[in-house]
Amino acid sequence: MHKRLHLVRRLFLLLAVSTLPTLVSGQLLAKLKSHPAQQRVEPQRAMSLKDMLLLLKDRYHVDLLFEEKILPEVLVPGNAIRSGVSFESNLKTLLQSTSIGFMKVKKGTYMLVDQRKSRDFMKPAPLSPQQKETQPQTFPAIPARPEPAAASVPEKARVTADNITIKGKVFDTHEPPRELPGVTIAVKGTTDGASTDENGYFAIDVPRDAILVFSMVGHKSVEHLAKSANSNLIIALQEEVASLDEAIVVGQTEQKKKHIAGSISSLNVASQISGKPITTLSQSLQGGVTGLQVQQSSGMPGGDAAAIKIRGISTLGNSNPLILVDGIPMDMNHIDPVTVESVTVLKDAAASAMYGARAANGVILVTTKRGTPGKISVTYDGYVGSQSPTYLQELVDAPQYMRMYNEARVNSGNQPFYSEDVISKTQDGSDPILYPNTDWVDLIVKENSPITSHSISLDGGNNLARFAVTANYMFQDGMIPLNKMNRFNIRANTSITVNKSFVFDVDLLAIKRNTRNNFRPDEGSGFGNRILEDVYRVPPTILPKYPEKNGRTMYGRYADIVNPLAYAEKGGYRDFESAQAMINMQPKWEVFPDFNLKGQFSFRLNSDQRRSVADAYNFFDYGTNQLVQSWGVTRSGTFERATYMYLAANADYTFTRNDHRLYAFGGFSTEKNSAGSWDVNTMVSGYTKLNYSYKDKYLIEATARADGSSKFGPGHKWGFFPSTAIGWNVHQEEFMKNVKFVNNMKVRASYGLLGNENIGLYRYQTLVQGTNGYENIWGNPDITWETVGLFDVGLDLGLFGNSLELIFDYYDKMTKDIILNPQVSYVGGMGNVPINAGKVRNRGWEVSLNYFKELGSNWNLSVKPGVSYNKNRIIKLQNGPYLTSTSINQEGSPISSIYGYRSAGLLQESDFNSEGMPLLPTVVGAKPGDIRYVDLNGNGQIDAPDQEAIGNPVPMFNYFTNLRLAHKKFDVEILVQGTGKSDQRLTGMLAYPLDQTADGGVPTIYYSQRYWTPERTNASFPRLSNTPANNKLSSDFWIQNGAYCRVKYIQLGYNLPVNAVRKVGASAARFYLNAQNPFVFTPMKLMDPESLGNQWTYGIMKVYTVGINVKF
């Protein structure tokens, strides 16, 4: 009995040690984080063994785990630590006169054990005869080896008939996986258990259906339900690192946060999108990273991806960031979000310089999930939902339309078109065939449309091979007929361990996506939503369909516009089908500790096919039975194929000695894009990076990259892009030792040069037209890279046990040699010639907070707000300004400023004399109720020189707040996102609805209550007119404030009890309800402030879904 109690005490002691830090206090165990070595000066006098161990671990920057009470109270000479020898040699010297031994848990982590008391427990007794019985071998297999020792289990447990034997091996999640010694295997709810030996092996007898808990200091615990005997169970324990020790992907490598001096934001997408109905990966980035402007402008199936900008716009050309998925450029929106592990955003030059010529607009790195050792797990993620438009125009009915149309004709000098008798009969609805009152929006646009997504993932393997395979199918229906999208993709990521130092990754990806839209033969080659345009243009006085006559179906007509119902029923469809296949291979070789070689080869094939299909149809007039329009048969299509190839070789080395750490990385790469016989371009690059840290306190980074691109001419093909950064971990200083509430304080600064080669192909060449031999596309042999100089200074703070984190950055970005296309000479036949002649300055700041608090034992609160400010200004613009009808690029103004007249309200009757002549400067033909324009130059006329930059369509402020509250198995999460003031211009039917041109349409109810009349002089809109040319001039009268605050989603989730899901063979299950875009608050009228555009823009959707996540 005494022996058994002694065994139980030892078992309890090991369990307590191995489940730190949650179950043990600082007095029981010293899991000692690396204190700055400078805080301890090596004394020459004798000191305690404990203090000497602390000094030793600080000098070698390792973690040393031990139970404090096992250390004898002895003194050690102050010079006991010898220079120039290994940590293990010094540790052996210090412990040689004691009964304390040590084991290496993993690289950089050691555990001290009392050899007198723990020898039997750490090295269990030999297996019993029952345990030595051969077990059937199943995947994943463990290499043959001598049987491991049995667990120390109470005698009565050994003889129980329901007991089963579990044998296996425990690894970490390193690549390749490494065996973990000293892992505790406890039977949940009992004091029974075992531990892994020096090779990670274990064996234990347990009752059937027992729950085994695998735990180790510094790792996340794993539970396993023992339903049957198993002779080769594989378990992987993930390291549980502190925030500063977390490794994040940084420009082709991984580095710990504490060693980074650049401006980098990382997002754990796997947890961010888990249980959320995200259709594209870009949507999941909204409200997660400051400085990242994510705007979803459409909800169209297949076209609902969000536009992304990093720290605003800094060039007149392409401002899109470089996006890499596992190191390869590709569209992130084509992959299944479920397959993504993390996203890293590189913002400043120090972080982005590794990508040189393509990093001017920032870089987004997407890392997909990889397999880990363990039994094969199957996960299902799925949801079904319903979509509805956030904004649909409410249009006037037929009688109101007739009255307004008559008034517009009278104001334009014409006679009324509709008689009072016709208006009356339309009003009473006595004859809906002759006097229809059609609600086109209600007839054509779906109030609700379905959406669904289903993903199945397999993950598992052993130390020899690991895999992560995910297949996804998604269907999204549209709000107009025929509009829909189907997407299927499959990803298989595989890691093969050739030996303990060599790993070979092979990743396969296949994607197929089909988008269908409406089509009619007379609408041209566009791939838009002409039917949605006609819904708002065709008056409610047009009948959708007449009764069948002479065996023919006849549709109502409006001028030359076929009504939307005819379009939907007799028009055809246009398909856009894209397919993509890719292989990505990466051999990784640890030549010797801290020196690694890595290669990468990737090949991608893209094919795009467009098909337009429509049958012939003749349209007849219902009254005359005469043919009025014919549609011919359409069977057309195009096919395009493109390839991409990437090859790279890299090497990295980490040198550590005493307080010094130097990380060196370098390599080269080559890539080739091919799209047909002409669109071919290549790039060859070499790059290097050095990171130096002293005592993990002072940081210096230097990066350089040279790129050679075929897009430029001789003498300009190569560009060089260096950067440097410094950082200071202030919290490691001696003077911060007693500031207990500050856990992390880092000050950093960086400056570097980046490039932009995203300018199109062969702009340096002049092209000759094949038909006549004329040079009609002029090139510039001196065209070269756009160059960006970027300065950044930042502060990272972690307070109150890192429960509150703050990150602040200020940046100043100057883009030079911006490529412009000025007109050289119409007379000489020369068109636009590209030149490097622009300069833009882009400045801003961003701040984010991350607060986490445990509110008692059952409540958790997480709040993550962020705000960013950004403003650009054109500094230099050769041959400028550059104008369009509504925008201007000129020195001193933001990019693409709105251009037009200043207004002073509406003209009133008092502004005209008795003969109707204006008493102040106006445009020709102005009348009361028209817009009153301001004569800026005072010449007594309203003319072109009175125009100026009148608005900035880009908001300067962006913000978000993510709030999550969890109670036991329930959680609720809310994301709020918005922008500050921006200037947005009303156009088309929203501004001048009864215009006879294509800009016109049916008035909205909002407009009908607010246009100018002699009785309503304080109106929001001008007088009605069929020819509103004067009021269509670009002016600030039509500008609205586009600021908004939108609730992006509200989600309620419930995690089912583990005991309940295990009864059906699952290990975890979660249900959730989600509402996307349910509310928006904005001063803007008539348009969604996020999608903007014109009246027939396909706006974003409200999406209500129910989903489930189950893991087996």
Over residues 172-193, mean pLDDT: 84
Same domain, 741 and 871: yes
Task: Identify the band that residue 78 occupies on the pLDDT scale cut at 50, 70 and 90.
Answer: low
Over residues 170-191, mean pLDDT: 85
pLDDT confidence of residue 958: 95
Q: Considering the domain boundaries, does residue 337 fall inside one?
A: yes
Q: Considering the domain boundaries, does residue 588 fall inside one?
A: no
pLDDT in tens, 236-270: 888 876 555 667 777 777 778 888 888 898 887 76
Same domain, 210 and 263: no
Q: Considering the domain boundaries, does residue 496 fall inside one?
A: yes
Same domain, 178 and 197: yes
DSSP state at residue 37: G
Number of domains in the chain: 4
Q: CATH code at 187?
A: 2.60.40.10
Asked if pLDDT for residue 159 goes beyond 70, the answer is no
Asked if pLDDT for residue 1010 goes beyond 60, the answer is yes
1053: containing domain: 449-583+630-901+954-1111
Same domain, 222 and 367: no
pLDDT confidence of residue 7: 37
Query: Who has greater pLDDT, 159 or 560?
Result: 560
Same domain, 456 and 354: no
Q: CATH code at 487?
A: 2.40.170.20
Over residues 743-754, mean pLDDT: 94
Query: Who has greater pLDDT, 288 or 607?
Result: 607
Same domain, 199 and 337: no
Same domain, 81 and 143: no
pLDDT confidence of residue 138: 29
Q: Considering the domain boundaries, does residue 612 fall inside one?
A: no
Asked if pLDDT for residue 144 goes beyond 50, the answer is no
pLDDT in tens, 328-386: 998 888 888 889 888 899 999 999 999 988 899 999 999 999 998 888 999 999 999 99
pLDDT confidence of residue 246: 66
- Find the length of the chain: 1112
Element (H, E) at 281: helix 281-284
The amino acid sitting at 632 is: G
> Which of 218, 237, 256 finishes a domain?
237
Same domain, 95 and 202: no
In sequence order, the β-bridge partners of residue 395 are 1004
Q: Considering the domain boundaries, does residue 944 fall inside one?
A: no
Asked if pLDDT for residue 316 goes beyond 70, the answer is yes
**Distance in Å from the first CA to the final CA of the chain:** 42
Strands (E), 241-350: 247-250, 253-256, 264-267, 292-295, 307-310, 322-325, 328-329, 340-346
pLDDT confidence of residue 271: 67
Q: CATH code at 280?
A: 2.170.130.10
Tracing tokens 């459409």 back to the chain, one arrives at 298
Q: Considering the domain boundaries, does residue 410 fall inside one?
A: no
Q: Who's near 733: CB < 8 A, 6+ residues apart?
A: 36, 697
Q: How far is CA 266 from CA 128, 246, 343, in A?
A: 50, 11, 6
Secondary structure class of 536 (helix, strand, coil): helix
Q: CATH code at 80?
A: 3.55.50.30
pLDDT confidence of residue 1056: 92
pLDDT confidence of residue 133: 36
pLDDT in tens, 979-997: 999 999 998 888 999 988 8
Same domain, 91 and 166: no
> Which of 324, 350, 371 finishes a domain?
371
pLDDT confidence of residue 182: 81
Quickly list DSSP for 582-637.
EEEEEEEEEEETTEEEEEEEEEEEEEEEEEEEE--EEEE-TTT--EEEEE--EEEE
Same domain, 179 and 108: no
Q: Considering the domain boundaries, does residue 946 fall inside one?
A: no
Same domain, 473 and 344: no
Same domain, 45 and 187: no
Q: Considering the domain boundaries, does residue 924 fall inside one?
A: no
pLDDT confidence of residue 672: 93
Task: Identify the band that residue 139 occupies on the pLDDT scale cut at 50, 70 and 90.
Answer: very low
Torsion over CA: 154, 158, 164, 169 (sign): positive
Query: Who has greater pLDDT, 747 or 48?
Result: 747
pLDDT confidence of residue 636: 87
Specify whether the CB–CB gap between 68 and 50 falls below 8 A: yes
Q: How far apart are CA 1019 and CA 1007, in angstroms?
A: 10
> Which of 356, 371, 386 finishes a domain?
371
Neighbours of 758 (CB within 10 A): 18
Quickly list DSSP for 377-435.
EEEEEEEEEEEEES----B--HHHHHHHHHHHHHHTT---SS-HHHHHHHHHTS-TTTS
pLDDT confidence of residue 906: 96
